[in-house]
C-alpha cells in the first residue's frame, strides 16, 4: 500500500519522535494532540518535552513542510495512536481481598473514536499505546467498526509496541527490533511495510494480542526481577550481608543476572504495565501482584534505613540528592525518590532536595535547594537517591569541606565506602547489614 500521509494521534514521548522520524523520511505527517498549547508550540518549531535530538528532528520536519500539528484528525492513509494509558485515579479493582489498579483507557477510546469519521477502505490503523491484552481485537476494533468497515478486511489494524528507552528514543526508534501484531496476516504485513520506512532493527510479525502481551511481559519481567533484588536487599540487611557484594558474586554464575536494588521502581512503564495483567486476570497473577507490592514498599524500607543511620528523624537536616525516577534523566514523575522525601518529612526531618536535571522544579511539599552546595551546607546527613553520573563522581574530600554532615546514606551503591570513610564520613548503604 501507499503511505502518502500519516496521522499520528498523541504527541508525547512516543508520538512526537515517531511523527518527526516519518517526516524525516519524506512522508507527510499530521500530528494531532488535544492540547492546544502543545500544537501551537510544535507548529512554532519548539518541543515541549526533553529528549536528545528531538528538537533538531522537529525543526527539520517543519522546514521540509512534512510535519504540522493540529487538534483535529484529517483523512490519511495511516492512523497511529500513541496516547497515554495511565491508571484510573479514583477507582481500584478487588479480588479475594487484594486491591489492584485499573487502566484508564479513555484516551485510547477517544483517539479511536476520532478516526471513525475519516476511516476509508484500505487504511491502516496502528495502536502503539501500552494496553491490556485484547485491547486491539476488542475495544479498538469495536470502535473503528462503527464506521461500517470491517477490521482486517476493509482496513488493516495492528498493535505495535514501542520499546524505546527515554533519553535514547530517537536512536532506539530506528535501531530496536519492532514487533508488529496484526488482526490478520495482511494487517501485520501492512504494518511491517510502514515501519520499514525507517526501522533498521528486525521487524517481526505476529498477531495483535501476542504483540500486546510481548510489551507487557517485557516490563513485567523487569519489575519482578527488580522486586527480587529489592527483597534480597532486605534479607541482606537482616543477615549482616552486603547485598551488592552478594549480587556481584551470584551474578558470576553463567545463568544468573540479578538486577539492582534501589529506592523503588518509578517511571510510567515498569511500575504501571504489570497492573494491566493483574487487572486482566487477578486469579492468575499472584507473583506479578506481589512484586508490585514489594517495589512500592521499597521507599519505606529506605526510610527505615535512614532511621537506623540517624536515629530519631525529628528536626534532622537531610540533603536528598536526586529526585528523578532513574539516573541521568530529568523526569521526576512517578519517582520513588519523591516518595522517600515525603516520608522523611512526615517523620519530622527537614529535607532539602537537589535535582541537577531539574534545578528549578517545584514539587508540592518538597523544599528544593537552590544549588548542590546549598543542599549539603547545613545538612546532618547526605542521602543519595539517584545514581546520576555527576553524583557518582563526587569527591568526598571536597564534599567534606562544604558540609556539616558526618553521615551519608547511599541507596544506589554509587560511592566507594573507604573513600568516604577516609574523608571523615560514617557510611550507611541500602541492603548492607554490616
The three state secondary structure string of the chain is CCCCEEEEECCCCCHHHHHHHHHHCCCEEEEECCCHHHHHHHHCCCCCCCCCCHHHHHHHHHHCCCEEEECCCCCCCEEEECCCCCEEEEEEEEECCEEEEEECCHHHHHHHHHHHHHCCCCCEEEECCCCCCCCHHHHHHHHHHHHCCCECCCEEEEECCCCCCCCCHHHHHHHCCEEEEECCHHHHHHHHHHHCCCCCCCEEEEEHHHHHHHHHHHHHHHHHHHHHHHHHHHHHHHCCCEHHHHHHHHCCCCCCCCCCCCCCCCCCCCCCHHHHHHHHCHHHCHHHHHHHHHHHHHHHHHHHHHHHHHCCCCCCEEEEECCCCCCCCCCCCCCHHHHHHHHHHHCCCEEEEECCCCCCCCCCCCEECCCHHHHHHCCCEEEECCCCHHHHCCCHHHHHHHCCCCEEEECCCCCCHHHHHHCCCEEEECCECC
- 226 forms part of the interface with ligand SAJ (CB under 6 A): yes
Check if the beta carbon of residue 103 is closer than 8 Å to that of residue 219. Answer: no
- Of residues 56-85, which lie at the interface with ligand SAJ (CB under 6 A)? none
Using Cβ positions, the residue closest to ligand SAJ within the complex turns out to be 269
Nearer of residues 156 and 343 to ligand SAJ, judged by Cβ: 343
- 163 forms part of the interface with ligand SAJ (CB under 6 A): yes
Stretch that binds ligand SAJ, among 96-104, 157-165, 302-310, 414-422 (CB under 6 A): 157-165
Stretch that binds ligand SAJ, among 111-119, 152-160, 255-263, 274-282 (CB under 6 A): 255-263
- 164 forms part of the interface with ligand SAJ (CB under 6 A): yes
- 219 forms part of the interface with ligand SAJ (CB under 6 A): yes
- 281 forms part of the interface with ligand SAJ (CB under 6 A): no
Q: Which of 254, 203, 261 is nearest to 232 (CA)?
A: 261
Known catalytic residue: 269? yes
Contact with ligand SAJ (CB under 6 A) among 92, 165, 235, 250: 165
Contact with ligand SAJ (CB under 6 A) among 178, 292, 326, 388: 326
Q: Which of 7, 24, 101, 269 is catalytic?
A: 269
Provide, rounded to whole angstroms, the least separation between the CB of residue 337 and ligand SAJ: 9
- 127 forms part of the interface with ligand SAJ (CB under 6 A): no
Q: With contacts defined by CB under 6 A, how many residues of the chain interact with ligand SAJ?
A: 20
Provide, rounded to whole angstroms, the least separation between the CB of residue 153 and ligand SAJ: 31
Contact with ligand SAJ (CB under 6 A) among 104, 218, 296, 328: 218
Contact with ligand SAJ (CB under 6 A) among 10, 17, 181, 267: 267
Known catalytic residue: 404? no
Provide, rounded to whole angstroms, the least separation between the CB of residue 101 and ligand SAJ: 16
Contact with ligand SAJ (CB under 6 A) among 102, 214, 259, 363: 259
Nearer of residues 270 and 375 to ligand SAJ, judged by Cβ: 270
Q: Which of 101, 215, 305, 387 is catalytic?
A: 215
Nearer of residues 57 and 272 to ligand SAJ, judged by Cβ: 272
Q: Which residues sit at the interface with ligand SAJ, rule CB under 6 A?
A: 130, 162-166, 218-219, 222, 226, 259-260, 262, 265-267, 269-270, 325-326
Residues known to be catalytic = 215, 269
Amino acid at each position: 500500500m501507499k503511505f502518502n500521509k500519516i496521522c499520528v494521534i498523541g504527541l508525547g514521548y512516543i508520538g512526537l519522535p515517531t511523527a518527526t522520524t516519518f517526516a524525516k523520511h519524506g512522508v507527510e505527517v499530521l500530528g494531532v494532540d488535544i492540547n492546544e498549547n502543545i500544537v501551537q508550540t510544535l507548529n512554532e518549531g519548539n518541543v515541549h518535552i526533553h529528549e536528545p535530538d528531538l528538537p533538531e528532528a522537529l525543526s527539520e520536519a517543519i522546514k521540509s513542510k512534512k510535519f504540522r500539528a493540529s487538534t483535529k484528525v484529517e483523512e490519511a492513509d495511516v492512523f497511529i495512536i500513541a496516547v497515554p494509558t495511565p491508571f484510573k485515579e479514583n477507582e481500584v479493582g478487588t479480588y479475594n481481598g487484594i486491591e489492584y489498579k485499573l487502566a484508564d483507557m479513555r484516551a485510547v477510546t477517544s483517539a479511536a473514536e476520532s478516526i471513525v469519521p475519516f476511516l476509508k477502505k484500505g487504511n491502516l490503523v496502528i495502536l502503539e499505546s501500552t494496553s491490556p491484552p485484547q485491547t486491539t481485537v476488542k475495544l479498538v476494533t469495536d470502535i473503528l467498526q462503527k464506521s461500517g468497515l470491517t477490521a482486517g478486511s476493509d482496513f488493516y489494524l495492528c498493535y505495535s509496541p514501542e520499546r524505546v528507552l527515554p533519553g535514547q528514543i530517537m536512536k532506539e526508534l530506528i535501531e530496536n527490533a519492532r514487533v508488529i501484531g496484526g488482526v490478520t496476516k495482511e494487517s501485520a504485513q501492512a504494518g511491517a511495510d510502514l515501519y520499514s520506512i525507517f526501522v533498521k532493527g528486525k521487524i517481526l510479525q505476529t498477531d495483535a494480542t501476542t504483540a500486546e502481551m510481548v510489551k507487557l511481559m517485557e516490563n513485567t519481567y523487569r519489575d519482578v526481577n527488580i522486586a527480587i533484588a529489592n527483597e534480597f536487599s532486605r534479607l541482606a540487611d537482616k543477615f549482616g550481608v552486603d547485598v551488592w557484594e552478594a549480587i556481584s558474586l551470584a551474578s558470576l554464575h553463567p545463568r544468573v543476572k540479578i538486577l539492582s536494588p534501589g529506592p523503588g521502581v518509578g517511571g510510567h512503564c515498569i511500575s504501571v504495565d504489570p497492573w494491566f495483567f493483574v487487572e486482566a486476570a487477578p486469579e492468575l497473577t499472584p507473583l506479578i501482584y506481589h512484586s508490585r507490592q514489594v517495589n512500592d514498599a521499597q521507599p519505606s524500607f529506605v526510610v527505615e534505613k535512614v532511621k537506623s543511620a540517624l536515629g530519631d528523624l525529628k528536626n534532622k537536616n537531610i540533603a536528598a540528592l536526586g529526585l528523578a525516577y532513574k539516573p541521568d534523566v530529568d523526569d521526576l514523575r512517578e519517582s520513588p525518590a519523591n516518595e522517600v522525601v515525603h516520608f522523611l518529612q512526615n517523620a519530622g526531618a527537614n529535607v532539602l532536595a537537589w535535582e541537577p536535571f531539574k534545578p528549578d522544579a517545584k514539587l508540592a511539599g518538597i523544599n528544593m535547594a537552590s544549588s548542590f552546595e546549598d543542599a549539603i551546607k547545613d545538612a546532618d546527613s547526605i542521602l543519595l537517591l539517584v545514581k546520576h553520573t555527576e553524583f557518582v563522581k563526587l569527591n568526598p574530600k571536597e564534599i567534606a569541606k562544604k558540609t556539616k554532615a558526618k553521615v551519608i546514606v547511599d541507596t544506589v551503591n554509587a560511592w566507594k565506602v573507604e573513600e568516604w570513610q577516609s574523608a571523615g564520613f560514617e557510611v550507611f548503604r541500602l541492603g548492607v547489614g554490616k
